[in-house]
Amino acid sequence: MNPESEQLRQGDLSPAGPEMDAPPPLSAAARAEARARFEQLIAEHLDSLYRSALRLTRNRPAAEDLVQEVMLKAWRSFHTFQAGSNVRAWLHRILMNAFFDNYRKHTREPDMVDQEDVGDFYLYEKARDSAALSAAGNPEVEVLDQVMDTEVRESLEALPAQFRAAILLSDIEGFSYKEIAEILGVPVGTVMSRLSRGRHLLQRQLWEFAKERHFVRGD
């Protein structure tokens, strides 16, 4: 990683032009003060950034590197950051840009379009239809009880990156559609369709786990 040679892609969150790479010269005292504010801000959001990075990269060393990259990029445009802005959204935008920049360089994941859609509430319907689960009395409760946390994380990580990103921003980090649209640089309609498709795929994956590990009859 060589952050000094990389271009920032901050969109409307930082001014365009060559000056954006270097913070304006500051007095030592002003710099120390900015550094202290920045350090506090990073500390506050570190867990959230790390979790998102972990879900995106799917491994710890890569997640740590990504968070470090985000921090370096955030510091370089920190002077453009307005107090009172949505810090967590700003940091997540830097995170998503950094991740997808690296990601596109190393993978070619086809855009997921025109896939069959067999209903939004896949898992619920599967659980209701399952004779084995129905025998337990309350199939919808039963199916969720059978899936472990690690399996949920695995299922999420099995999703194509674009869907994974939308779901983690919405369902885990709790950002609004509008915030997610800004973070990912796509229209709100795209956010909604990625969420819908992603949740559907997630439910299919969870059903596979319920089936495999717990011998639920899956038909």
Q: Binding residues for other proteins, per CB under 8 A?
A: 31, 35, 38-39, 42-43, 46-47, 49-51, 54-55, 60, 64, 67-68, 71-72, 75, 120-121, 123-124, 127, 140-141, 144, 147, 149-150, 152-153, 156, 167-168, 170-172, 176-177, 192, 195-196, 199, 202-203, 206
Which CB sits closer to other proteins, 20 or 144? Answer: 144
CB of 86 to other proteins, least distance (A): 17
Helix 177-184 vs helix 188-214: angle between axes, to the nearest 10 degrees? Answer: 100
Minimum distance from residue 185 beta carbon to other proteins (Å) = 19
Q: Closest separation between CB of residue 174 and other proteins, Å? A: 8
- Of 138, 174, 171, the C-alpha closest to 156 is 171
Quick check: 102 and 56 in contact, CB under 8 A? no
Q: Nearer to other proteins by C-beta: 35 or 104?
A: 35
The label of the residue with tokens 């990504």 reads 66
SS (H, E, C) 36-53: HHHHHHHHHHHHHHHHHH
> What's the min distance (Å) between Cβ of 70 and other proteins?
10
Of 21 and 64, which CB lies nearer to other proteins in the complex structure?
64
Question: How many residues does this entry show for the chain?
Answer: 219
**Closer of 110 and 162 to other proteins (Cβ):** 162
Report helix angle 28-57 to 87-106, nearest 10: 60
Task: Determine contact, residues 39/131, Cβ cutoff 8 Å.
Answer: no
Q: How far is the CB of 149 from other proteins (least distance, A)?
A: 4
Decide if 210 contacts 142 (C-beta within 8 A).
no
Q: Which CB atom, from 13 or from 159, has the smaller least distance to other proteins?
A: 159
